[in-house]
Structure 1
Amino acid sequence: MSYFVVLVLSIGLMVGCTENASKTADMILTNGTIYTEDANNTVAKNVAVKDGKILSVGTTSDIENYKGASTQIIDLKCETVMPGFFDSHMHPAMSAVDYVFSVVVSDVSGVESYAKKIKEFAVANPDLKVIQGAGYYRSDWDELGPRKETLDAIDSTSPIIMLSNDGHSMWVNSKALKMDEITKDTPNPEGGIIQKDPKTGEPSGLLQESAMDLMKDISIKYSKEQYKEAILWVQKLLNSRGIANVFDANANLDNPNYY
C-alpha cells in the first residue's frame, strides 16, 4: 500500500544547492519520490529540512552535506512526498463560521440524529434569536425533502435555518417561513423552488437554490471578528490535513464582513 507524506513547510527549494552546506538539517527524508512543485516539476529522492523550512532537495550526495550527529534520518522506502495539497474549490470562510458558531450535523445521518443534534444545540444556546446550522444530507428524505414539522417539534417560537451539506438547499421551520411571509401562494423565485406539500399546498420546509435567498433577512449576520476567528480555525484544520493552499470559490462581495 502506498502513502503520501505531505510537508506543510515554508518552501525554499534549492535543488542540488551547496550554498547552505554549512547548515545541519533537523530532519532528512531519503529514498523517496519528492515532488518539489517547482517551475521545472523537479522530482528528487531526498530532502533536508531545518526549522520547518526546506534546505535542499537533490541526490544522496547533495543531502549528505546537511547531515549532522543530531539529524533525524527517515527512510521513505520509495514512498511519495509533496510540499502540500492545493484544494481548488472550497468555501472555507462561509463554512467555517457554521462549524465554529452554529450547529453542524454532517457527522451524523438520519432525520432523528439531525433533530437530536439541533435540539441539543438549541438547549445549550437559549439566548440565540435564530437557530442556525448546516450539514444535513438531502438524500435522507424522499422527493419532498425535509419537513418543517421536525424542526417545529424542536422549537416553534424561534426560526430554525439549516443549510444542506452540498449548499444547494435549506431546511426551515414554520416560524422561519412565517417571518419571511412564505405561504402556499408564494411563487417560486427565478432559479429556485419552494417545496410544497402536494396535498395541502403549504410550504413543506425545503427551499432550493435561489429560494434560499428568501431567508437572508432573518439569517444570522456574522461579524468580521467572527469570520476572522473561523478562518484561523479552519486554516489550522486544513494544515493538519496537509492542505497548504485553498481557493475560495465564493468570495461574497455583498457581505463586507466576509469579504
Structure 2
Amino acid sequence: MIVPNTAARPLILALGLVAVSSDARAQDPPTADLIVHNGKVVTVDGDFTIAQALAVSEGTLIRVGSDEEVMATRGPETEVVDLGGKTVVPGLIDSHTHPTGASMIEFDHPIPDLETVADVLDYIARRAGEVGEGNWVVVRQVFITRLQEQRYPTREELDRVAPQNPVLFATGPDASLNSLALELSGIDKDFEPEGPGKVERDPETGEPTGILRNLTRYVKVEDPGQSPTEQERDDRLVALFRDYNSVGLTAVIDRNASETDITQYERLEDADALTLRLGISRGVGTSGDLGAIEEEIRGVADHPLFRAGPMLRIVGIKMFLDGGMLTGSAYMREPWGVSDIYSIDDPHYKGVLFIPPDRLEPMVRAAVESGLQFTAHSVGDGAVHALLDAYEAVNEDTPIAPTRPCITHSNFMSAEAIEQAARLGVVLDIQPAWLYLDVRTLAAQFGYDRLRWFQPLRSIFEAGVTVGGGSDHMQKVGSFRSINPYNPFLGMWVAITRQARGYEGRFHPEEALSREQALRFYTINNAKLLFLEDRVGSLEEGKLADFVVLDRDLLTCPEGEIREITVHSTYLGGEPVYEQASD
C-alpha cells in the first residue's frame, strides 16, 4: 500500500475556505488511459514507497497506490494490464553514453570479441588482407586492461602481422603504432610534440617504441571503411535506442555530442523516432585561443535545446581533463610507477593533464555564468582534485551549485574530494562496469591499499553527493558485448557486490551500495543530472509515465541473479517502447 501523495493534490486556499478534502479525489477520479496493477511498484520516491498499481493519462502518472485506489480511475476505454505479481521500477537512466559513434562501429564489418593479444593480431592480419596493401588498419577501444596479457601489442608484433599496412591500435587518447604508421605520421627519433602528451622511446636508442600518450592527433590515419548515408546512420541509431529500451533504459546522456550529433537527434525527434529521452553534454575542445573557447562555451547556452523539453535537451558542456586508467594516462597525485602493463619506464610519471589550472578556471567560469553544467573527463585523483579546485575558485564569487557542476568518471577519489564535492554541490557520473572489467589490472598495477578510494560509492552516497550510474558505451550494439557494457543490471550488480571479472573476492566491500541505493543510482540520481527530477526518475503522481516491468524482484532476488534480470516491457510516457517476445 502507498501513502497518498498529498503534495500533488490541488488545494483551494482562500478567505474562509479550507483545503479540499482528500476524499474528493476518490469521489471524482480522472479517467486513465492505462492501468497496470497486481504488482510490486517500486516508486523510488523520497520514502522508497512500494505500491501495487499505477494509472496513466496522456503520458502522465495520475494515480500510484493500491489496486483499489488505482482501479478507481478505470473508464470504458482504459487498457488494463495485470502484472501477475511482477516488479515495476522507474525507467532507468544512463548518465554517460556515446550513441552516434557506438551505433556505427560495425557498419561495414563485424568486429569479433578481442580478449587476447593474439586475437588482436589475428584481426589486424585479416583486416590488412581485406583493405589491401598500403591502407590503414585501425583498431579502437580494445583496452589493454581487458586483454588477458594486460599489455599493448608491440610495434614489432604489429609489423609482423601487417608489414605493408600502417596500423593504429588506439585506446582513447593513447595508442600503439607499427613502423609504417609512425613513418607516415612523421613520428621519429627527433619528433617533439606540442602540448600535452608523450612519445615512449627506447631508453638506449631514443627511437619511438610505438606507444603514444595523448598524441593520436598526430597520427595521419585514413579510415578505408565505407561511408554511410544519412538514412543508414539514422536507422542504426534508432536500432541502438531500441536495444537500450530492451534493458529498461528510457533516458541517456550523450557525454560528448558534436553539432552534427545534435542535428541528428533533432532530426529523429522531428520524425517522432526517439524511443528514449536524451540529455546532451556538448563537446568543447580545450586547445587554442582561450577567449574563443570561452565564447564557444557561452554559445552553447544560446542553443534552443538548452534546458528544452523532457525529450531532448542540452544540459551543459563536456571537456577532457586527463587521460585514462585503461591506457595508463590518467593524471594521478602520486606516480603511476614503472609498469610493463602500461609500458611506463619513468618512475616519476603521473599521467597527462590536458588543461592547466590557469586555463581550466576561466572555462569553468564561462559555463557557470551561462547556467551550463560543466563536466570534464577526470579519471585520476590528480584530475579530480584539479577540477574541484577550479570549482572552488569560481564558487568564491559565483555560486556553482545551481548548475550542478559534474565530474565525469571520477574513478580515483579521496575522502577530502568527497567532502569538497558535497560542500560545493558537485555531482558525479561514474561507470561501475569499469570496476567489473578493469580491477584485475588496476590491482596488479597499484595494489589493494592504494585503490581504497576507487569508485567509493557508499561514501559518496553517505556524504550526500548526487552520483549517477552510467556505462560510457562506446562501441557495438548489445548490452553485454558492447564496449563498454550498457546493461544497467550489470552495473547495479557490480555496485552492490563489488565483484570483478578475473578478481577473487570483493573489492573494497565497504564501498558497496544497498539495492535501494543502486536503484537510485540509475533512476532519480540520473534524473537530477538531467535536471529532470521533477518529471522522471521516480513513479509519483504528476510525473511522466516512464517505467519498466522486470522478470524478477530486484530488491529480493538472490544477489547473483541481479545481473541476470531481464525486462518484460519498457514504457515511455505510458507507451510501450519494448515488449519481450512471447515464447
Same fold at TM > 0.5: yes
**Deviation by residue 1:6-44 (Cα, 9 ceiling, x = unmatched):** xxxxxxxx99893224x464x5362331347xxx99956
Alignment check: 8 A CA contact 1:103 1:134 kept: no
Alignment check: 8 A CA contact 1:84 1:242 kept: yes
Q: Cα distance, 1:155 vs. partner? A: 1.9
Q: Is 1:18 aligned to residue 25 of structure 2?
A: no
Match of 1:214 in 2: 218
CA distance in 2, matches of 1:229, 1:156: 37
Q: Which amino acid is the alignment partner of residue 168 of structure 2? A: I
| Aligned mate of 1:186, from 188, 191, 198 | 191
Where is the strand percentage greater, Structure 1 or Structure 2? 1
Q: Is 1:148 aligned to residue 151 of structure 2?
A: no
Q: Cα distance, 1:186 vs. partner? A: 0.8
| Aligned mate of 1:250, from 249, 256, 273 | 256
Q: Cα distance, 1:224 vs. partner? A: 6.7
CA distance in 2, matches of 1:254, 1:32: 39
Match of 2:296 in 1: none
Q: TM-score, normalised by structure 2?
A: 0.34
Residue identity over aligned pairs, in percent, reads 19
Q: Is 1:235 aligned to residue 244 of structure 2?
A: no
Alignment check: 8 A CA contact 2:202 2:208 kept: yes
Match of 1:158 in 2: 165
CA distance in 2, matches of 1:135, 1:35: 35
**Deviation by residue 1:184-210 (Cα, 9 ceiling, x = unmatched):** 21124421112222333222222221x
Q: Is 1:171 aligned to residue 176 of structure 2?
A: yes
CA distance in 2, matches of 1:245, 1:57: 22
Q: Is 1:73 aligned to residue 78 of structure 2?
A: no
CA distance in 1, matches of 2:126, 2:197: 31
CA distance in 1, matches of 2:134, 2:233: 18
Q: Cα distance, 1:163 vs. partner? A: 2.2
CA distance in 1, matches of 2:70, 2:213: 57
Q: Cα distance, 1:114 vs. partner? A: 1.7
CA pair 256-18 structure 1, distance change in 2 beyond 3 A: closer
**Deviation by residue 1:130-175 (Cα, 9 ceiling, x = unmatched):** 22232322335678x43122222232222222321xx231222222
Gaps of 5+ in 2: 1-7, 10-24, 265-281, 283-583
Where is the helix percentage greater, Structure 1 or Structure 2? 2
Q: Cα distance, 1:255 vs. partner? A: 9.6
CA pair 122-28 structure 1, distance change in 2 beyond 3 A: farther
Alignment check: 8 A CA contact 1:103 1:133 kept: no
Q: Is 1:83 aligned to residue 91 of structure 2?
A: yes
CA pair 182-128 structure 1, distance change in 2 beyond 3 A: closer
CA pair 99-197 structure 1, distance change in 2 beyond 3 A: farther
Superposed, 1:44-63 pairs within 5 Å as: 45=51, 46-48=53-55, 56-60=62-66, 61-63=68-70
CA distance in 1, matches of 2:34, 2:257: 43
Q: Which amino acid is the alignment partner of residue 169 of structure 1? A: D
Alignment check: 8 A CA contact 1:180 1:214 kept: yes
Q: Which amino acid is the alignment partner of residue 197 of structure 2? A: G
CA pair 82-180 structure 1, distance change in 2 beyond 3 A: same
CA distance in 2, matches of 1:31, 1:251: 37
CA distance in 2, matches of 1:172, 1:238: 34
CA pair 47-255 structure 1, distance change in 2 beyond 3 A: closer
CA distance in 2, matches of 1:48, 1:128: 62
**Deviation by residue 1:82-114 (Cα, 9 ceiling, x = unmatched):** 1222x2223332343334346756x43221122
CA pair 178-228 structure 1, distance change in 2 beyond 3 A: farther
Superposed, 1:52-131 pairs within 5 Å as: 56-60=62-66, 61-65=68-72, 66=74, 71-76=80-85, 79=87, 81-85=89-93, 87-101=94-108, 104=111, 107-126=113-132, 129-131=135-137
CA distance in 2, matches of 1:256, 1:47: 34
| Aligned mate of 2:39, from 30, 35, 42 | 30
Alignment check: 8 A CA contact 2:189 2:206 kept: yes
Q: Which amino acid is the alignment partner of residue 204 of structure 1? A: T
CA distance in 2, matches of 1:193, 1:160: 19
Q: Which amino acid is the alignment partner of residue 235 of structure 1? A: F
CA distance in 2, matches of 1:59, 1:112: 57
